[in-house]
Amino acid sequence: MSEEQKQAENRARPTTEEFRTFVAEDWAPRSATRPDLTEAARRAASRREQVSAAHEGERLVIPAGGLKVRSNDTDYVFRPHSAFAHLTGLGADREPDAVLVMEPREGGGHESILYFRPMAPRDSEEFFGDARYGEFWVGPRPSIEDIESELGLTGRHIDGFVDAATKDAGEVTVRVVRDADRELTAALDTARIANGAVEEGLAEADDALAHDLSHLRMVKDDWEIEQMQAAVDATKVGFEAVIADLPTALESGRGERWVEGVFGLHARHQGNGVGYDSICAAGDHANTLHWIKNTGEVRDGDLILLDAGVELDSLFTADITRTLPANGRFTQAQREIHDAVEAAQAAGIAAVKPGNKFSDVHAAAIRVIAEHLHTWGLLPEGVSVDDTLDPEHGQYHRRWMVHGTSHHLGIDVHDCALATRSEYMDAELQPGMILTVEPGLYFKADDLKVPERFRGIGVRLEDDVVVTEDGCRNLSADFPHSADDVEAWIAEVQSR
């Protein structure tokens, strides 16, 4: 909440001493039962050990981030920063304004301390009067004892955070994940400098921590892979709900919004919600790669490109795309394009294996795309498949597939985004990496270089795969891939 909003606070607040006494009386005792240590917290503890070993003697500050205002006096649903979630085990909407501090111990290693806003006593102003944090308004918060039991670390009140995080800042290297909470970072910078830190180099030192925490997520453990499979399975529930309701989307108007809403309903019911804004692109809208307006009609004969994923409460998210004929049947031209994309995806998935580079996945898929474009006569006269794949003088095929074929996937839909090129594009694939394989072909309605029968058709196929010891496992293998199988899927779901 901004200072201006605080000053303009216009809610009626009960302020009499009589009321304060009255509201604090006659509540049942709070439960003495503490939550068990969660599996997510156990896994987070082992990750913190890795981070501790890499940053011996340094104080590490990982904020969850704060609430963000929507429409003056309401807040957006909170989602913690991914690094915070990964190192604490807290997901869903927990805990706004909290900060994980890894405090170096004299004998080596770190003590993990969670500074947060615990549940307020019932005789406090916060309990009944604070619309942002008060129990009357947003429900009970965990106590310090609850957090310590659930997460297996030390809990402390957020009021002590700044002093603890910045003490001896001239002697101890303090690193902060800066983008998690910009306002908190600015306050910490001021306090760090006041406590002896040198202003020059603060951001660069902090960026090193953000990079390390991003790269830490690149190889998933067995529990994380199970979470990803669960997210994919939940996503299939959403896709099938959309398929079952395609006739309504055709009839109701603004069908893209209907598709978005149906998937969102099941994403929210199956997990925490959608992992990213769903792309529900019918007809020519499928040729706008990030079409998230979802304002269009779904018409008989259209394809609808649905790119969507369920995010679990643990924040692991799926990322799946299927291109569905709205009336249940592909036209011949739609099928021809779908077949080409299916072949390209199969080549990409075959390239996902240890020893290959991440970039090899795109190279395998895009060659098949280029071969189809060449067969259709869409490349310039005299340009071969090898010519267009030449990175210096070719790339004509990118008119119809401009994006890459893969990205890492996990807590973020584009996970590990701060890894360097050598750690990402040029890196060898390792067992436990999870990535998408998602080639497409996009023929805009006004593209005069393509045959009229192709214009206005966009197709993408996307699956989530985990690298194994000898290849990969397709987490979304239960989703149909061929045009025939998609048609059969639609018919089967709509007949239930």
Verify that 162 and 261 share a domain, yes or no: no
CA pair distance 279, 128, nearest whole angstrom: 41
Verify that 241 and 290 share a domain, yes or no: yes
**pLDDT tens, residue by residue, 380-412:** 999 999 999 999 999 999 999 999 999 999 999
Verify that 203 and 232 share a domain, yes or no: no
Verify that 238 and 201 share a domain, yes or no: no
Verify that 164 and 69 share a domain, yes or no: yes
At 72, the pLDDT band (50, 70, 90 cuts) reads confident
> Does the structure show a pLDDT above 90 at 3?
no
User: Would you state the structure tokens that stand for residue 282, as one six-digit string?
Assistant: 């019918």
The number of C-alpha atoms within 13 Å of 337 and in the hemisphere containing its C-beta is 26
**pLDDT tens, residue by residue, 162-202:** 999 999 988 999 999 999 999 999 999 999 999 888 888 88
Among candidate residues 434, 441, 440, the one with its CA nearest the CA of residue 358? 434
DSSP one-letter code for 408:
B
> Does the structure show a pLDDT above 90 at 10?
no
Question: Helix H segments across 55-181?
Answer: 82-88, 125-129, 135-138, 144-151, 161-166
Res 90: pLDDT = 98
Classify 412 as helix, strand or coil: coil
Using an 8 Å Cβ cutoff, are 443 and 333 in contact?
A: no
Verify that 208 and 306 share a domain, yes or no: no
Res 296: pLDDT = 97
Ranking 14-23, 275-284, 312-321, 368-377 by mean pLDDT, the lowest is 14-23
**pLDDT tens, residue by residue, 153-165:** 999 999 999 999 9
CATH number of the structural domain spanning residue 372: 3.90.230.10
Final residue of a structural domain among 163, 198, 215: 215
State the chain's maximal CA–CA distance in angstroms: 89
Q: Is the C-alpha dihedral spanning 58, 59, 64, 69 positive or negative?
A: negative
User: Would you state the structure tokens that stand for residue 249, as one six-digit string?
Assistant: 């989307």
At 73, the pLDDT band (50, 70, 90 cuts) reads confident
User: 1 CB contacts (<8 Å, ≥6 apart)?
Assistant: 67, 69, 132
Query: Helix 39-54 and helix 202-215: axis angle, to 10°?
Result: 130
User: 428 CB contacts (<8 Å, ≥6 apart)?
Assistant: 354, 355, 356, 357, 358
Classify 173 as helix, strand or coil: coil
At 12, the pLDDT band (50, 70, 90 cuts) reads low
Res 9: pLDDT = 61
Q: How many domains does the chain have?
A: 2
pTM (predicted TM-score):
0.95
Does the bond joining 145 to the residue before it have cis omega, within 30 degrees of 0?
no
Using an 8 Å Cβ cutoff, are 279 and 459 in contact?
A: no
**pLDDT tens, residue by residue, 410-439:** 999 999 999 999 999 999 999 999 999 999
Name the phi and psi angles at 479, rounded to 5: -75, 140
CATH number of the structural domain spanning residue 73: 3.40.350.10
Name the phi and psi angles at 3, rounded to 5: -60, -35
> Does the structure show a pLDDT above 60 at 31?
yes
Name the phi and psi angles at 162, rounded to 5: -60, -45
**pLDDT tens, residue by residue, 274-306:** 999 999 999 999 999 999 999 999 999 999 999
Res 94: pLDDT = 96
Verify that 197 and 259 share a domain, yes or no: no
Among candidate residues 314, 201, 147, 17, the one with its CA nearest the CA of residue 193? 201
Q: What's the domain range around 200?
A: 3-215
Verify that 266 and 211 share a domain, yes or no: no
Verify that 294 and 394 share a domain, yes or no: yes
Final residue of a structural domain among 197, 215, 233: 215
> What is the average pLDDT across 97-115?
97
What's the burial of 279, exposed, middle or buried (CB within 10 Å: 0-12/13-18/19+)? buried
Verify that 205 and 338 share a domain, yes or no: no
Res 170: pLDDT = 87
Mean pLDDT of the chain: 95
Verify that 182 and 267 share a domain, yes or no: no
> Does the structure show a pLDDT above 60 at 223?
yes
Run of H or E including 62 = strand 59-63
Verify that 226 and 359 share a domain, yes or no: yes
Final residue of a structural domain among 189, 215, 241: 215
